Structure 1
Amino acid sequence: MDIDFSEINYLKDPAWQDLHADYEQFLLSMTGPTVIDVSGKDQQKCRVFTTLLHGNEPSGIIAMHRYLTEVLPEDKPTTNLRFIICSVEAAASKPLFSQRFIKGGIDINRCFGRDCSFECQDVGQTGYCQRASLIEQAIREVTPEMVIDLHNSSSSGPTFAVSSVVTTETLSLASLFCQTLILSDLNMGSIMEQNFDCPFITIECGGCQDEQAHEIAFSGISQVAQCGNIGYIHQEKPVEVIYRPLRLQLKPEIKLSYAQHDEGYSGVTLKDNIECFNFGSAHQDDMIGWIDGNGLDNLQLIDKSGKNVLDQYFYARENQLVCLHNLRLFKATTNKNTAINDCLFYVVKLSSPEI
């Protein structure tokens, strides 16, 4: 697929004809990343939502389209709103919302704040960094008072927020979507790591095929659009803060399988019900999978300093992969492509954080 990475489209106060009959037709009507501006009561302020950085995470665009067609005609937002729809080509690939990024491409949410020209030029992928720069520019040009990046997990799981800081504003915004905020200091080249001089949170709305995830995204957008002051939102329920997750990853060229029992596969085999850990804890000495003769050398868990700290979280019991401590897992998935190209899951120790 030929992509014009220099293109970004702008649409202001769209009419119903622009939005089409449903979100799928609306998606297919776009020729590339699209910015939708909505005029609010206070036009001196702007709140920004980004969505579809990954083409297989539809809750954001579903919720955004519903807000624009159902709520906006009856109720003008408190401030201007800007919706930025990013990886349109990946989302529109058949079947819709099945591709994280197009074949031969790379994850754009690893391209922010980086000069990828040298790193990517040999494989013709510099365009993704160019697009990331355009998206970043589209955020900065409105000097937003907040940014929310809407995502889905590949598999079912509870909604949670992620931020690089914990403040009154980030906790307040998170409370409109969920009751858990993860403080992350990982450096992956994500949009959330960039400094926009305003509160920024990522919302993992839940599983990409879960209707409840779409509903959470819609409810959150609607509440953010109407709240008077994002720094003083009344929180009906407290938001739990979880500190500094790490990403469990396969080392390059290691094979991944899923099974109910040990089948003797090479590489790493995770239990086929690994997603269940998204809803609770993995306890000390719990077995979550199997490893071949290379043992823990199949895996890596890299901390902020670049050190592999895998043996501080897991150990090998014969050929089993076992939890060394009580752990909390996030975004565990049986989607093999996501697990191989991104990570098996995020993990934190269930102990007092080092602040």
Structure 2
Amino acid sequence: MESTQLTLRILHAVPDALLSAESDQLDDLLGGPTLIHLDGSESEDRLFVSTLLHGNEDTGWLAIRALLTKYAVRKTAYKLPRSLSIFIGNVAAARLRLRRFDGQPDYNRVWPGSKDVDSAESRLMRKVVDEMAQYRLFASVDIHNNTGINPHYVCLTWLDDSFFYLATLFSRTAVYFQQPPGTQAAAFSARCPAVAIECGKPGSPGSVDHALQYLEDCLHLRTFPTHPFPKRDIDLFHTVATVRIDEHTSFGFGSDPCALNFDPALDQLNFRELPPGSVFGSVNGDGQTGLMVTDENGRDVTERYFALHGKQLITRRPLMPAMLTRDTRVIRQDCLCYLMERMTLEGI
């Protein structure tokens, strides 16, 4: 499915049916991507929250639904402690519980700053950014799930004390990234503290409650502290490379007859510091790794990180993977994982 036209729906009230709707019902109820503005009772500085940029990641919607239910005076009237704007993204893919449709741009790769400037999806995100430019923003939060086993953590694109304070309200584990471009967090970072929160797998115990409590904390936080952020309060990692599988390379998990085979428990390596020589998988065939690893500047750095030892695919240097997944469709649509290094805040 490839969109040729997308209309941004803007609402100033919550339709009654949304308070009992599952994510796969939102397309019928909203008719497409929707931005909802709700005025708060105390602060004009507005919290912007986005959810379902990936249609199979429903923790954000379930947390927002619970938040709206809590603060509803009537189903269309809210007594929020801070003004709130909610962007509900790829409801068409959410109908089928898909990250995105094949042939459809990723809703978290087409925000201003992306190389994609011509698609209907990129035009839609520019409209969202232009609409939010009319408001004074306190912070921006983009809510996500993972398809592999990961801890709850937070992503940020700016190294600034207010960003660190916003991040550690959710988790002391934080990832600084510059790639991929075109993310919601990057698009809003120039306007306000902005983060993306990663809430584990959809349906994992505690994920909705954690996201809900974080939104509550953001709504009730009056200002960010003015004193320097205590650097010991954050475990910061830097995404240094993206690992993809060559489109012509077959792959699997276990004993499948593929060119590239990974351990079925591969995603348990997420956020584990791996020494050189760690086994990542095995290869069959022409002696190629089948991987394509690119750094933040898009350069091929595959040989810096991986090598073949016989038929074993091993690491060449210390590294820590994140977002490893066994979901073959997500791997083809996005990547196998990201590689990270620990980052110090000295001098920042």
Fold equivalence (TM over 0.5): yes
1:33 equivalent to 2:27? Answer no
The change in CA–CA distance for 1:117 and 1:181 in structure 2 (over 3 A counts) is: closer
SS in structure 1 of the partner of residue 295 of structure 2:
coil
SS in structure 2 of the partner of residue 107 of structure 1:
coil
Partner of 2:338: 346
Contact 1:51/1:149 (<8 A) preserved: yes
Residue number among 181, 203, 216 corresponding to 2:174 in the alignment: 181
Mapped to 2, the partners of 1:128 and 1:37 lie a distance apart of 21
Mapped to 2, the partners of 1:352 and 1:167 lie a distance apart of 13
Contact 1:78/1:228 (<8 A) preserved: no
1:253 equivalent to 2:248? Answer yes
Contact 1:140/1:196 (<8 A) preserved: no
Question: CA offsets, 1:238-279, max 9 Å, x none?
Answer: 2211123321111232222111x5x5522x221110111125
Q: How does 1:1-355 map to 2 (within 5 A)?
A: 5-14=5-14, 17-24=16-23, 27=26, 28-73=28-73, 76-93=79-96, 98-113=97-112, 114=114, 116=116, 126-194=119-187, 195-231=189-225, 238-259=233-254, 264-266=257-259, 268-349=260-341
Higher mean displacement: 78-87 or 179-188: 179-188
Offset at 1:231? 4.1
Higher mean displacement: 50-59 or 200-209: 200-209
Offset at 1:351? 8.0
The change in CA–CA distance for 1:24 and 1:198 in structure 2 (over 3 A counts) is: closer
Higher mean displacement: 139-148 or 314-323: 139-148
Offset at 1:24? 4.3
Contact 2:40/2:79 (<8 A) preserved: yes
Contact 1:86/1:135 (<8 A) preserved: no
Question: CA offsets, 1:103-133, max 9 Å, x none?
Answer: 4322122222246466xxxxxxx22222222
Partner AA of 2:177 in structure 1: S
Question: CA offsets, 1:61-93, max 9 Å, x none?
Answer: 110001000245499433211111111111123
TM-score by length of 1: 0.86
Contact 2:71/2:80 (<8 A) preserved: no
The change in CA–CA distance for 1:101 and 1:231 in structure 2 (over 3 A counts) is: farther
The change in CA–CA distance for 1:354 and 1:295 in structure 2 (over 3 A counts) is: farther
The change in CA–CA distance for 1:43 and 1:225 in structure 2 (over 3 A counts) is: closer
The change in CA–CA distance for 1:332 and 1:171 in structure 2 (over 3 A counts) is: same
Offset at 1:6? 3.6
Contact 1:54/1:107 (<8 A) preserved: yes
Mapped to 2, the partners of 1:25 and 1:111 lie a distance apart of 22
The change in CA–CA distance for 1:325 and 1:45 in structure 2 (over 3 A counts) is: same
Q: How many residues align?
A: 340
Mapped to 2, the partners of 1:250 and 1:36 lie a distance apart of 38
Offset at 1:4? 7.2
TM-score by length of 2: 0.87
SS in structure 1 of the partner of residue 213 of structure 2:
helix
For the aligned residue pairs, the C-alpha RMSD in angstroms reads 2.9
Higher mean displacement: 302-311 or 55-64: 302-311
Percent identity over paired residues:
20
The change in CA–CA distance for 1:304 and 1:279 in structure 2 (over 3 A counts) is: closer
Mapped to 1, the partners of 2:206 and 2:90 lie a distance apart of 23
Mapped to 1, the partners of 2:203 and 2:53 lie a distance apart of 17
Mapped to 1, the partners of 2:54 and 2:250 lie a distance apart of 24
Q: Which runs of 5+ in 1 are unaligned?
A: 119-125
SS in structure 2 of the partner of residue 109 of structure 1:
coil
Partner AA of 2:182 in structure 1: G
The change in CA–CA distance for 1:350 and 1:163 in structure 2 (over 3 A counts) is: closer
Higher mean displacement: 4-13 or 104-113: 4-13
